[in-house]
Amino acid sequence: MLRSIVRRTSTTGAYLTRRGFASESAPDRKVAILGAAGGIGQPLSLLMKLNPLVSQLSLYDIAGTPGVAADVSHINTRSQVSGFAGDEQLGQALEGADVVIIPAGVPRKPGMTRDDLFNINAGIVKSLCTAIAKYCPHALVNMISNPVNSTVPIAAEVFKKAGTYDEKRLFGVTTLDVVRAKTFYAGKAKVNVADVIVPVVGGHAGITILPLFSQATPKANLGDEEIEALTKRTQDGGTEVVEAKAGKGSATLSMAYAGAIFADACLKGLNGVPDVVECSFVQSTVTDLPFFASKVRLGKNGVEEVLGLGPLSDFEKQGLEALKPELKSSIEKGIKFANDN
């Protein structure tokens, strides 16, 4: 019924009626953003306020969220916005959430790796996930906080201890790697960026980010050196931004865009839209590692199917073997932290 009166736009994925207005018939969905007053949190709050699939937008941070919420709430779109600040309001922020997006934590400065953020962000993620297990155990969790290769396993352990773990509902957000791979490929291949599809698999740090340009469409005749350069640029995309910002943080605007795309895909899946596929770092049997990013089909319960890697070039096969030790140790580091603390 919904699909007969509603069409989706290809660029934003938003539901629009034939007359171009946001459909009011989409089901009620509460989205909570934890870290909503931050560099990613603020533009992400804006983009989620523009999403007609959201009926309630809950903005949480340790401070500053009443202002962000008041600001965003004046935008004349569907969702009701509330701001929550401080530990004592976290429960209220989370209660009834269908999707929780977590961009809480410190960003990198030049010279740091994502793993250098572990000591601070691991504790933040652990305490937020403990609250999620208590207040909205069935929510889909979109983990943005770095190092994603470790924070997702931390979340899984916290949920296991609380007895609420459902591997179908926990996602590491790697969409920015896909966004970058699409942009860089389109530039080199001289194709329309809006048409480009490129899976990115593995994890979300350095060489663990493995774009599969051999599967990119539209096809282009790029040489080995060009593919290697594109791969390296995608792997170093975060560092490129960290260096350009010169001490003022890491990617925020492109990350907010990517986070909004991924959350929109989760909402569409929950709403029963068919064939919603995005890459994400999830519990996986695609390789021998317990968590791995690959294409995932999203559905009414979160992950409907973790898709395989498809055919890889020799260069990609080498990249896959090379990334495994680092990804394995980042996963183990997360699991150990969650169990020791």
Ligand X SMILES: O=C([O-])CC(=O)C(=O)O
Ligand Y SMILES: NC(=O)C1=CN([C@@H]2O[C@H](COP(=O)(O)OP(=O)(O)OC[C@H]3O[C@@H](n4cnc5c(N)ncnc54)[C@H](O)[C@@H]3O)[C@@H](O)[C@H]2O)C=CC1
Binding residues for substrate: 108, 114, 146, 180
Write out the binding residues for ligand Y, residues 18-57 only, by CB under 6 A.
34-35, 37-41
Exactly one of 42, 146, 149, 175 binds ligand X (CB under 6 A); which one? 146
Distance CA 25, CA 78 (A): 11
79 Cβ contact partners less than 8 Å away, ≥ 6 residues apart? 31, 48, 49, 51, 54, 55, 56, 57
Least CB distance from residue 194 to ligand X, whole Å?
22
Q: Would you say 6 or 298 has its CB closer to ligand Y?
A: 298
Exactly one of 155, 176, 181, 260 binds ligand Y (CB under 6 A); which one? 176
Exactly one of 43, 52, 83, 103 binds ligand Y (CB under 6 A); which one? 103
Exactly one of 148, 263, 270, 303 binds ligand Y (CB under 6 A); which one? 148
How do 140-143 and 99-102 pair as beta strands? parallel
One character per residue 209-248, x = contact with ligand X (rule: CB under 6 A)? ----------------------------xxx-xx------
Binding residues for NAD(+): 35-41, 61, 121, 144-146, 255
Is it true that the peptide bond before 107 is cis, omega within 30 degrees of 0?
no
Least CB distance from residue 154 to ligand X, whole Å?
16
- Is residue 249 a contact residue for ligand Y (CB under 6 A)? yes
Q: Would you say 200 or 296 has its CB closer to ligand X?
A: 200
Exactly one of 57, 152, 200, 251 binds ligand Y (CB under 6 A); which one? 251
7 Cβ contact partners less than 8 Å away, ≥ 6 residues apart? 15, 16, 17, 18
Name the residue type at position 247: G
Contact 263, 144 (CB under 8 A): no
Q: Can you list the pairs that 154-157 forms with residues at least 24 positions away whose Cβ atoms lie under 8 Å?
A: 154/122, 154/125, 154/126, 154/129, 154/334, 154/335, 154/337, 154/338, 155/125, 155/129, 156/283, 156/291, 156/335, 156/338, 157/334, 157/335, 157/338, 157/339
Which residue in the list 29, 126, 204, 295 is annotated as catalytic? 204
Distance CA 188, CA 222 (A): 8
Phi/psi of residue 58, each to 5°? -110, 115
Is it true that the peptide bond before 147 is cis, omega within 30 degrees of 0?
yes
- Is residue 131 a contact residue for ligand X (CB under 6 A)? no
- Is residue 146 a contact residue for ligand Y (CB under 6 A)? yes
Q: Which partner from the list ligand X, ligand Y, none does 329 bind, CB cut-off 5 to 8 Å by kind?
A: none
Contact 215, 195 (CB under 8 A): no
Exactly one of 210, 255, 293, 296 binds ligand Y (CB under 6 A); which one? 255
The answer to whether residue 204 is catalytic is yes
Exactly one of 48, 132, 152, 176 binds ligand X (CB under 6 A); which one? 176
Q: Can you give the binding site for ligand X, defined by CB under 6 A?
A: 107-108, 114, 146, 176, 237-239, 241-242, 250-251
By CB under 6 A, name the binding residues for ligand Y. 34-35, 37-41, 61-62, 103-108, 117, 121, 124, 127-128, 144-146, 148, 173, 176, 204, 249-252, 255
